[in-house]
Amino acid sequence: MNINKNFILKIIFSFGFFLVVLSSISNIYEKKDRILRKITFLNDDNEKKDLNNFSNGNNKFWFEELRKGGYIIYMRHTERNKWHQTNMYDSAEMSESRRGEKEYFAEFVCLNEKGKIQAKMINEFIKKHGMKIGTVISSPSCRARQTAEIAFNKLDLENKLLAYKGVFYDDYNSEEYNNWQKDLKNLILNLPVDSDKNTIITGHNSILIKKMFDNQEALKGIDLPSKVKEGGFYVFSTKNGALNFEHQFTNFTDFSVFTHKRK
């Protein structure tokens, strides 16, 4: 009789344990999406840290390195007015080689007054830094050209390859898009770069993709195209025929902060 009682107790205990485990599994399954989001959030944090390290951790080093020269600086144009369907006006300007500053839609494609002041201040900081400027190339867009002319005091070349996706119809054809990216890379690779000067490109955000660069292994923590702010810039090198992404100054302030000291 005692043996039967023990046997029954074991069965009851085992069944209870089974219910607890089943309930736990069910609970985990019900919350799987929340748990996965939490894991993804942690991964995103790590990626953000990688990006921050890439863009900010070596700012002082690259501030000094650019004084030596030998690099390509790709700068996003300074501030413009924010309008809906800006690409419509950019298409009208760039596809027909019109000068936006002379058009009725100038406010849609050119720098606003704040952007002109911002570009002029960038010019001051560039001079203060002692950076020597070589060739300056720009997107044909009014705001990109104005940034080049005000911030760097010259504009040597314009090229439609520096226009962002959506300005031209063929951007929506995958084959044409891939050809554009290849041509853009070749354009950058073939720009003249003096050993003691920096070549300047003024253009738009979001035209640079990761597969364009030859040092992709170093870009694992970088999200390209990234979102540099207006007046922010990237640093490229083109040594030995390779296009390498070297650094990112998300805001121009990340660069200019090193030019002045309290004492």
pLDDT digits (tens, 9 = 90+) for 161-189: 999 988 888 777 888 888 999 999 999 99
Ordered by start, the domain boundaries in the chain are 2-49, 59-259
Radius of gyration of the chain from Cα atoms? 27
d(CA 1, CA 4): 5
Instruction: Give me the pLDDT at residue 261, please.
Output: 82
Residue 21 pLDDT level (bands cut at 50, 70, 90): low
- For the stretch 218-221, contacts whose Cβ atoms lie closer than 8 Å and that sit 24 or more positions apart, written own/partner, are 218/244, 218/245, 219/245, 220/50, 221/47, 221/49, 221/50, 221/51, 221/53, 221/54
Fold for the domain defined by 59-259? Rossmann fold (3.40.50)
Nearest Cα residue to 169 out of 77, 104, 87: 87
**What value does the mean pLDDT of the chain take?**
84
Is 70 exceeded by the pLDDT of residue 53? no
pLDDT digits (tens, 9 = 90+) for 195-224: 999 999 999 987 888 889 999 888 877 777
Instruction: Give me the pLDDT at residue 117, please.
Output: 98
Q: pLDDT: is 55 or 250 the higher one?
A: 250
- Tell me the angle at which helices 113-129 and 59-68 cross, rounded to the nearest 10 degrees: 70
Give the lowest-confidence range in 10-24, 36-50, 53-67, 126-140: 36-50
d(CA 77, CA 162): 12
Instruction: Give me the pLDDT at residue 175, please.
Output: 85
Could you tell me the two tokens for 190?
Answer: 């073939």
Is 60 exceeded by the pLDDT of residue 122? yes
% of the chain residues with pLDDT over 70: 78
Cis peptide before 192 (omega within 30 of 0): no
Sign of CA pseudo-dihedral 194, 195, 197, 198:
positive
